[in-house]
Chains A and B, each alone.
Chain A
Amino acid sequence: MGLLGKDSKLISDPLADNNPITIQVLGICSALAITAELKASIVMSISVIFVMGAGNVVISLIRNIIPSKIRIIVQLTVVAALVIIVDQVLKAYSYSLSKELGAFIGLIITNCIIMGRFEAFALANGVWRSFLDGIGNAIGYGVILIIVGFFRELLGSGTLLGYAVLGDPIEKTGLYSIGYENNGFMLLAPMALIVVGLIIWVQRSRNISLIED
């Protein structure tokens, strides 16, 4: 990691002990909303990596000229503009992909991780470090999203990325032939919260220093 040096912590920390979802408890809303299937989780993760990286760079570039009174509005404008640019360019040059992403692109604006990192990091740090922080946090967010999406789709629908990995629930093949049933509750938002809770539990029991009093 010669290029990154000590900055490599900016990428690695959010993946583990400073994860935006499980430790900072940011981005819960989208973690609930779109993790009913794995594919949506992956797509959302990639989109957020892009917007976070680019947004942190823009905010860091203009951090010395942003009036502090309206900095939140400025941050919001930057995210919204980036999201619209992504949306429009995809619609023009990759229409089928933009159909797949659909509502997610708009949802990125509401993702509190983005505003959180602008406010907490990009406003006070240089461009390169902000870029790494953005990417790191977006990956940390994406990892949790993908874990939740994996379990919700597998246990809720019996599929992964749309492929029936457990057999056919109606024809009763594969695992279903021995009486296994999909848990429809996994498809609903509350189960996302419970899965996130389980991840938080596992993480904190492995690293006791994360537990607050």
Chain B
Amino acid sequence: MEKRTDKNLYTLLFATGMVIVVGSLLAFLASSLKPRINENKRIEKQQNILYAMGVHENEGNSVAFVEDSKVAGEFSKYIKTQLVITDGLNIIEDNDAYLIDIKKEQTKAKAGESRKLPLFVGEKDGKTFYVAPIRGKGLWDAVWAYIAMDENMIVQGAYFDHQAETAGLGANIKQRFFMDDFIGEHLLDENGVFKGITVSKSNADPTNKIKDDNEVDAIAGATITGDGVSAMIKKDLKLYQPYFDNLKTN
């Protein structure tokens, strides 16, 4: 005789029941945890921006952000103004500029609409930092970064992150040995033309002593992630050049 659980109707009912139970369980979980997750992401953005301009708790080779509980205070202490740049030189101040979703803005730009470019102006030890968020593609998924520059577009600090790069290879872009290489690198060439920074496999400068070659040393086994990083720097940071040009003339 056929078992009860082999009947078609039973199978159908079981499948329906399972979908309802699992679906509502996950929906309930997701919606009840969402506020906490969003808050964590917001804190992370502030920590990343502060990290790029050198406000962190690094020891040795570790990457350590400002503590969660202190980040709000530190953020308002160090970040003096948050700007939103549209259409080259249309600049407004917006204290929630750090919440702007770069991914959405990039999609907008592709659709021909004007893109909002957030820029965070921070001050630390009498020095001014301009921190720009950028985003691009790695091997598997998105890569993004916060790059702190001075008024000559020389990198003062960088924080890289990724969605799903390979552990031990592409994922190493968020290691100190890679991020710290960017400090001091020039984004412009000697004539002031924007050149970006290339993650290079052949720059013959593994200790990164030469800072004005527009190149940093690549990570072995992470060619595509590195190319993605170069492309994202070239594409997204170039958009900020008019702002810096304007800064110098004024």
Contact = CB atoms under 8 A, between A and B. Distances in A.
Given A88-B29, A88-B33, A88-B37, A95 B11 contact: no
A77 interface: yes
A22 interface: no
Interface in B9-25: 10-11, 14-15, 18, 22, 25
Interface stretch (B84-92, B126-134, B162-170, B226-234): B162-170
Nearest to A44: B167
Contact of B169 (A36, A66, A77, A92): A36
B168 A67 contact: no
A35 B221 CA distance: 14
A187 B221 contact: yes
Contacts of B166: 33-34, 36
Given A91-B33, A95-B44, A103-B140, A67 B6 contact: yes
Given A67-B6, A67-B14, A162-B61, A187 B26 contact: no
B163 A92 contact: no
A16 interface: no
Interface string B1-13: 0010110001100
B18 A74 contact: yes
Interface in A1-47: 33-37, 39-40
A124 interface: no
A85 B40 contact: no
B246 interface: no
A74 B40 CA distance: 33
Given A66-B5, A93-B36, A102 B220 contact: no
A103 B139 CA distance: 13
A68 B30 CA distance: 30
Contacts, number: 92
B210 to A, nearest CB: 15
B33 A102 contact: no
Contact of A85 (B11, B29, B36): B29
A194 interface: no
Contacts of B44: 95, 99
B22 A157 contact: no
Nearest to B217: A170
A133 to B, nearest CB: 23
Given A37-B168, A66-B14, A184-B220, A92 B37 contact: yes
Nearest to B25: A81
Given A77-B22, A91-B33, A65 B5 contact: yes
Contacts of B22: 77, 81
A68 B6 contact: yes
Contacts of B242: none
Contacts of B141: 103
A153 B167 CA distance: 11
Nearest to B17: A65
Contacts of B15: 67, 70, 73
A99 B25 CA distance: 24
A77 B167 contact: no
B206 interface: yes
Contact of B167 (A34, A81, A188): A34
A206 interface: no
Interface string B160-181: 0011111111010001000000
A74 B224 CA distance: 37
B250 interface: no
A72 B18 CA distance: 13
Contacts of A68: 3, 5-6
B23 to A, nearest CB: 9
12 contacts: A35-B168, A70-B11, A70-B14, A84-B29, A85-B29, A88-B30, A88-B33, A95-B40, A102-B162, A102-B164, A103-B167, A152-B168
Given A102-B163, A187-B169, 17 more contacts: A34-B166, A34-B167, A36-B169, A37-B168, A67-B5, A68-B3, A69-B11, A70-B15, A74-B18, A77-B18, A81-B22, A84-B26, A88-B33, A89-B29, A95-B44, A102-B171, A103-B140
